Amino acid sequence: MELLSERTQPTGREIARILAGLMLALFICVMSTMIVTNALPSIVASLGGSQSEYTWLVAASLLMMTVSTPIWGRCADQFNKKTLVRSALGLFLLGSIGAGLSQSIWMLICMRGLQGIAMGGLMATTQAVIASIVPPRQSGRYSSYISLVMVVATLCGPLVGGLIVDTDWLGWRWCFFVVVPPALASLAVLQRYLHLPVHRRETRVDYLGSLLVAVTVTLLLLWVTFAGEAYAWLSWQTAAILTGTLLMGVLTVYVERRHPNPILALPVLRDRTTAWASIGSFAVGVVMFSSMVFLSQYFQLARGYSPTEAGLLSMPMLIGTAAATLAAGHLIAKFGRWKAILVAGSAVLALGLALIGRLDDAPAWTVPAAAVLVGVGIGVVIQNYVLIAQNAADPTQVGTAGATVTFFRSLGGVLGMSALGAIVTSGVGAQADLDLATLTPALREAAQASYADALGLVFVVSGAVAAVSLVAAVVIRETPLRTTVHRAKS
């Protein structure tokens, strides 16, 4: 039985208020992942952590966000979305306060994992809420606003974190406390203005499937994260982990095919549009996260710029992302067509990455110029794969479809960062442990050349991965975007 509120379609003003609350929540979540970038050395030193634990401080939140996103997405199709958003915000508050109060490195890692679970919830439920209150043709515009917020949060995170750490009377713990007030404000706004139809139906939650999905993905991420460091890529540890991953994957498919409400909805993945959108989104995840991480390293380690200069030189890419996100969203909303825009964005993305990889001896200004192309490509495709999957899905499964595509993007990001990082480590060899500032000019020049070659290869490989997104965009059959929230009856 379904109980509806008196007015199920919110007004334009109500949508704006709901969107403001959702964007604030997403802003602080994304910023919380980036805010520790400049603070990590101080945090690890303060809590007595090692290099391995340093890695886990970064990986914990991304890993848990990745494995939890499809779970939240499935729940968004079964339970009250407002309750889920509030739950995700509550978990985020708990994780942030716990992280700020942590007395050991492993307590902090656990709290970062809790933050990641909350981030997965907000990523999945935000898309589901938007799909529930506006038709797909208008979703492009609102999704572009969300993408813009995520870009700004990515940019602000390291700057805010560096400022906090450099301020003696604050300290690194405020990197986590600082997000608490805006999280509470977001919770208050959504509590006041978010009113969605309440669905009351008997359902079985797929607890076993949730556990199996988490274990399968976690094993794969553990392998990519630590192979080449804790053990060799070709080793018995690798064989054991990959064997375990394969077995868990087979068991997951077996369980999910037999559950009435599977957490990983295989029928959704069998849809041609959603399948190709997931493949394209995976490729975008690989190049999106790696571009942000490795471009800064390129400027510092291959070109010799300071961290501040590297941040300024990275700005054109983020500006390109922001501008393209808004432009693509408005064009899709205006014309109701997306295929040409998606194909063009994927092509520009692949071209920009390939150009960066071939600019070793070119003037310094050419790299930021090529990075603009990368930013434009990311801005065009990042949310539109989610949009077209939701447009193709049954209205009762928009949360699952959107979360599935987002899941593969996050998975691509985590796996891509680890795999491409291994290329850099392999390329520079022992020089990875050197402090370039302490080297003689001749040795420093040789080390920078090694980094330039290794990072150049990373961007060339990323360009090839981006070409996968281009293939997906070409292959997906374009269908008109719905102009109503619900699918028309045939």
What pLDDT, in 10s, does the model give residues 95-132? 999 999 988 888 998 999 899 899 888 877 887 787 77
| 363-388: average pLDDT | 84
List the chain domain ranges. 10-135+157-196, 207-260, 266-430+439-483
Q: Of 157, 254, 128, 218, nearest to 411 (Cα)?
A: 218
- For residue 15, what pLDDT band results from cuts at 50, 70 and 90? confident
- For residue 432, what pLDDT band results from cuts at 50, 70 and 90? low
Over residues 29-88, the pLDDT tens digits come to 888 877 776 666 678 778 876 655 666 777 778 778 877 877 787 777 777 888 888 999
pLDDT at 361: 67
Q: Which class does domain 266-430+439-483 fall in?
A: mainly alpha
pLDDT at 414: 75
Residue 376 DSSP class: H
Over residues 285-298, the pLDDT tens digits come to 888 877 777 777 78
CATH architecture of the region 10-135+157-196? Up-down Bundle (1.20)
pLDDT at 489: 45
| 407-421: average pLDDT | 78
- Domain 10-135+157-196 identical in fold to domain 266-430+439-483: yes
Over residues 293-321, the pLDDT tens digits come to 777 778 777 777 766 677 677 778 878 88
Over residues 140-155, the pLDDT tens digits come to 667 667 767 877 787 7
Confirm if 404 and 274 have CB atoms less than 8 A apart: yes
Is residue 229 predicted with pLDDT exceeding 80? no
Over residues 390-405, the pLDDT tens digits come to 877 777 677 777 777 8
**Helix pair angle (366-381, 339-357), 10° resolution:** 150
Is residue 442 predicted with pLDDT exceeding 70? yes
Residues 6 or more apart whose CB falls under 8 angstroms from that of 288 comprise 378, 382, 409, 413
32 or 243, which is more confident?
243
pLDDT at 3: 38
Is residue 5 predicted with pLDDT exceeding 50? no
What's the pTM value of the predicted model, to 2 decimals? 0.73
In terms of DSSP H, where are the helices of 167-231?
174-177, 180-193, 207-226
